[in-house]
Amino acid sequence: MSKVLSFIVLFVILERRLFAAEAGMPQLDPVYWPSQIFWLIIIFLSVYFLIAKIFIPKIEDNIESREDKIRKDLEEAKSLGEESEKKLKTYKDLIKTAKIDTKKIISQSRQKLSQDMQLKGKEIKKEIEKETENAQKEIKNFKINSINKINLISEEIASNLIKDIFGEDPNKSSVKAIVNEIMKGHKF
């Protein structure tokens, strides 16, 4: 296939007059080829220099700046990742410390509450004992006072009965002696 193509190109170059040149296509006429080659070289060289000196450096700069940005972003991401790992570790340590402190505080609070309850229990027990003693003293005093009052009431009732039955006032000391004698037999 390459031999056929070479043959065709050679045929075209060697042929001075081509069919298309006769029909009015001067670019296929070999007479104009040197000027066409000249302008082709100029245009291709200028395009080459434009691309090589203007566009490719800009593209290279863009690629380089993108690579730098990507590299910086990766480095920043890595440093942020390391920093976040440190902060996460610090956070976990803080949580662990807080849990330990909380357990200590709860334990201390329980101990203090237990001690306070024991102290309050002792205080309440002492108060109850004191109140019980006071109540027993009051009951004893009330009992003594009641017995004395019962004696007085009994003396009055006996005096009034004797007065109502016999119509004269009885001797107070004899009524008192009789009531005391009767009360000795009863224990309150």
Does 96 reside within a domain? yes
Residue type, 159: S
pTM: 0.40
pLDDT, one tens digit per residue, over 33-80 is 888 899 999 999 999 999 999 999 999 999 999 999 999 999 999 999
Q: How confident is the model at residue 31 (pLDDT cuts 50, 70, 90)?
A: confident
Question: What is the distance between the alpha carbons of residues 67 and 127, in angstroms, rounded to a whole number?
Answer: 86
Question: If phi over 0 gives left and psi between -120 and 50 gives alpha, with beta otherwise, what is residue 107?
Answer: alpha
Query: What pLDDT score was predicted for residue 108?
Result: 92
How many domains is the chain partitioned into structurally?
Answer: 1
Question: What is the distance between the alpha carbons of residues 174 and 185, in angstroms, rounded to a whole number?
Answer: 18
Which is higher by pLDDT, 89 or 176? 89
Query: What pLDDT score was predicted for residue 166?
Result: 79
Range of the domain at 130: 15-184
| pLDDT of 24 over the 70 cut | no
* Residue 19 DSSP SS3: helix
pLDDT, one tens digit per residue, over 123-170 is 999 999 999 999 898 888 887 777 777 777 877 887 787 778 877 777
Does 6 reside within a domain? no
Q: How confident is the model at residue 90 (pLDDT cuts 50, 70, 90)?
A: very high
DSSP-assigned letter for residue 17: S
Does 62 reside within a domain? yes
What's the rounded mean pLDDT across residues 98-113?
Answer: 93
Does 3 reside within a domain? no
Query: What pLDDT score was predicted for residue 143?
Result: 79
Which is higher by pLDDT, 140 or 2? 140
Query: What pLDDT score was predicted for residue 70?
Result: 95
Does 9 reside within a domain? no
Does 10 reside within a domain? no
Question: What is the distance between the alpha carbons of residues 92 and 75, in angstroms, rounded to a whole number?
Answer: 25
Which is higher by pLDDT, 105 or 157? 105
